[in-house]
């Protein structure tokens, strides 16, 4: 199990790195920089695999779970913004899910 080699604080840093990667992906999409977008996507995918291998965050201390949730919220916001840029029709789906008009 990966938890034996990585501390929970290290895993929080992985979540922080994923948040940073999604931010770089969003910036690259806004700048229409396909190469930077692809590079950030590969990095993000690698980090996600590390996090998946670590298993669920149920065993994390409460304060770190809260920090993880805040980061995940920003990751989801970045991903939603990426969808709006890359697939404008997805904005309609987002509006349906969130109840926005």
Q: What is the DSSP string of 45-70?
A: HHHHHHHHHH--STTS-HHHHHHHHH
If DSSP codes are grouped into helix, strand and coil, which group holds residue 4?
Answer: helix
Show the beta-strand stretches assigned E in the chain: none
Give the mean pLDDT of 79-88: 90
pLDDT digits (tens, 9 = 90+) for 20-79: 999 999 999 999 999 999 999 999 999 999 989 988 888 888 888 899 999 999 999 999
Q: How many CB atoms lie within 10 A of CB 80?
A: 16
Q: Is-above-0.85 flag for pTM? A: no
In the prediction, which pLDDT does 30 show?
95
Give the mean pLDDT of 2-17: 78
Contact between 75 and 19 (Cβ < 8 Å): yes
In the prediction, which pLDDT does 58 show?
81
């Amino acid at each position: 199990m990966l938890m034996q080699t990585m501390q929970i604080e290290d895993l929080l840093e992985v979540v922080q790195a994923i948040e940073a990667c999604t931010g770089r992906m969003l910036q690259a999409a806004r700048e229409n920089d396909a190469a930077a977008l692809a590079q950030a996507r590969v990095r993000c995918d690698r980090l996600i695999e590390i996090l998946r291998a670590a298993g669920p965050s149920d065993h994390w201390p409460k304060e770190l779970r809260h920090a993880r949730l805040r980061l995940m919220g920003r990751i989801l916001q970045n991903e939603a913004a990426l969808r709006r840029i890359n697939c404008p029709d997805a904005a309609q789906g987002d509006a349906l899910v969130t109840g926005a008009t």
